[in-house]
Structure 1
């Protein structure tokens, strides 16, 4: 049986039963659990399944559709950027992961690490990290934005500001030379802006599509961001502005930090 045939049958099983454990799927298909996990990762990247602790289920499209769509956009670049960003993090660190889709991929890339303290305002990231490798996971509660699967309100801000993370991983919607880091959703931008000064190191993860993209809400200046992880060299004006502001640009190729 090919992988494509197996994944088609896996989806049929989920449609009939709703959820399956990884172990039961491995037994059903007579393959290893790692093979099933690879299939599940691919299905999740396509928005067709949702990984949960020890298993997989169909996604709730009403709640997760917009977020899953963003995960599929530039997915290969985001995953490479995420692996490089994870290389900046060591066992035992305290890490803030925001609500961006690239930040979710960073959460996955942290799998080899131990004893992390994770703060997040994103439900999908909290679910991904909880119960894994001695990590402590703190969710910034508040009203959940359905499109972003995240909290942005005053309660979420106050809770997040009670921590002093070693590293903050922030996704961005756009990057310009004159206005630096921007986003589209005012509440999301306000959350990020409000917690910046608590972070020891701010790392922005953004694929090259974000360069020069028009956006309307300011999040941070280059002087407030230590590192920019991306998959292609930025335009000359953005590169110059980043250098003036002290932001180190890491250009990632095939999952490595080449910057």
Structure 2
């Protein structure tokens, strides 16, 4: 871990940074955190106790581990988690897009990598509620971008809500790409953010083809809200062969491995 400047950080800021590190590494040693933030081991232990009290982490011998609950990291952290897997998925998914298509791309972290992978397709019409997608695609190879406005959620760097859904639902995309937060063989495709899941559910029926994007870390992960049934998607793109129970649930869906 790199050492940040020696200025003492405010406790709440330091705890937020520790939580972000846990989202990236899943666990951290107390000694490494103390060195990184230039504080004592006891100060880090107090921070960990606070994170534990808030249900975000729990103490282990000599360190701290992220609690496996239904909390997602802020978007910019999520975007870089499992980046290689997401890039592989994005490259595979980009093969489904042809010149001139009308494409809906949602606000999940894999959507950013999909836009990066759309380097050859020309004259696309892109509908999105994600700032990153709009910035990446605007004018790219002649693309036209329609951004679903409304209040922007800073953690997700995207807009949600009635105004956004009403605007985006006026389009009829040939293909829609939805990043999925969790894949449960019994309950379907899940998410951690109700407005995001609601938008997926509302827009999926408008597209001629629906593509779900999920890296293998999402398999049998616990989400908090249902976004889509398996039968509502046409193609499932991932980076590794899903376990048998998920493959059985995806029986009528085309599974593509990036």
TM-score (norm 2): 0.71
User: Which residues of 2 match residues 1-259 of structure 1 at below 5 A?
Assistant: 66-243=74-251, 246-252=252-258
1:180 is displaced (CA, Å) by: 1.0
Q: Which has the larger radius of gyration?
A: 2
Mapped to 2, the partners of 1:124 and 1:185 lie a distance apart of 18
Q: C-alpha distance in 2, partners of 1:197/1:232?
A: 27
Q: Deviations over 1:101-156 (max 9, x none)?
A: 10111011111110000000001110111121111100000010101111111011
Matches of 1:233 and 1:132 in 2, distance apart? Answer: 33
Deviation at 1:66, TM superposition (A): 2.2
Distance 2:74 2:119 in 1: 25
Give the distance between the partners of 2:79 and 2:219, measured in 1 at CA.
Answer: 18
Name 2:55's counterpart in structure 1.
Answer: none
Runs of 4+ aligned structure 1 residues displaced above 4 Å come to: none
For residues 92 and 257 of structure 2, what CA distance do their matches in structure 1 show? 9
* Residue ranges of structure 1 left out of the alignment (5+ in a row): 1-45, 47-64, 253-259
TM-score by length of 1: 0.71
CA distance in 2, matches of 1:86, 1:132: 14
- Where does the alignment leave 5 or more consecutive residues of structure 2 unmatched? 1-23, 25-72
